[in-house]
Amino acid sequence: QSVLTQPPSVSGAPGQRVTISCTGSSSNVGAGYDVHWYQHLPETAPKLLIYGNINRPSGVPDRFSGSKSGTSASLAITGLQPEDEAVYYCQSYDSSLSAVVFGGGTKLTVL
Amino acid sequence: EVQLVESGGGLVKPGGSLRLSCAASGFTFRNAWMSWVRQTPGKGLEWVGRIKSRDDGGTTDHAAPVQGRFTISRDDSKDTLFLQMDSLKTEDTGVYYCATCNNTKYYMDVWGKGITVTVSS
């Protein structure tokens, strides 16, 4: 059971928009700690996609966007492309655990 | 180019030890906070621990499942990060990644390709 809760899977057709939710609690997301998102393709290193809730590192397309409200955060992907098929993880910090925490990951399937 | 390359993985019996290394290049390693993250079979990413830069105290934090068994250290003269893993359990099997760690927001921005550790009799 992960500290941050994500749906196990989402799917969408090419060109569509999908969102991935990340629900935390008062000791992590709700306590004001930032949420970050990673894209993980098989047999590759995870890639930072969004940091500080809404910021994109250089090179990440603006099709990817993040938001945060209360104890939850979301990752939105617009204009879905086949190469977006991957597992997406949210991450934050938990003050009760004094630890970095990840969501369980969401498998995105591009139909 | 910023690069992290892990080494030292392999097969080890339960109760055994293994030492992972992570060679850094392309950035000022001594100023960086560094983390280890793992992915165990069938599961997602799991934070293993973090070490601060020497200037920020050089202290370490380890996740509860590995506390007392794993130790993170660094050799700034060799731009290398280490993960000493003792009393290994089968559930420690997985791919281990080293990553740079932002010192205020706790995100990992540069990752190595990972190294496989298998704990099995």
Residue A100 CA, distance from chain mean position:
15
Overall residue count recorded for chain B in this entry: 121
Of the candidates A65, A82, A63, the one whose C-alpha atom is nearest the C-alpha of residue A14 is A82
- B41: exposed, middle or buried (Cβ count in 10 Å: 0-12, 13-18, 19+): exposed
Query: Which residue of chain B has the CA closest to A48?
Result: B109
Q: How far apart are the first and last CA of chain A?
A: 28
Residue by residue, DSSP assigns B44-108 as -EEEEEEE--GGGT--EEE-GGGTTTEEEEEEGGGTEEEEEE-S--GGG-EEEEEEEE-TTT--E
Chain A residues close to B112, C-beta within 8 Å = 45
Rounded to the nearest angstrom, the minimum Cα separation between B95 and chain A is 10
Planar angle of CA B19, B22, B24, nearest 5 degrees: 160
Strand partners, B34: B51, B100
Binary contact (A46, B111; C-beta < 8 A): yes
**pLDDT on residue B110:** 95
pLDDT tens, residue by residue, B79-92: 999 999 999 999 99
Task: Name the token pair of A18.
Answer: 């999908």
What span, in angstroms and rounded, lies between the C-alpha atoms of A69 and B118? 40
Binary contact (B113, A44; C-beta < 8 A): yes
pLDDT tens, residue by residue, B43-66: 899 999 999 999 999 999 999 999
Rounded to the nearest angstrom, the minimum Cα separation between B33 and chain A is 14
B71 with B84: CB under 8 angstroms? yes
Of the candidates B12, B25, B1, the one whose C-alpha atom is nearest the C-alpha of residue B79 is B25
A17 with A64: CB under 8 angstroms? no
Which of B36, B66, B97, B107 to mutate against chain A (most A CBs within 10 Å)? B107
Binary contact (A48, B108; C-beta < 8 A): yes
pLDDT tens, residue by residue, A32-82: 999 999 999 988 999 999 999 999 999 999 999 999 999 999 999 999 999
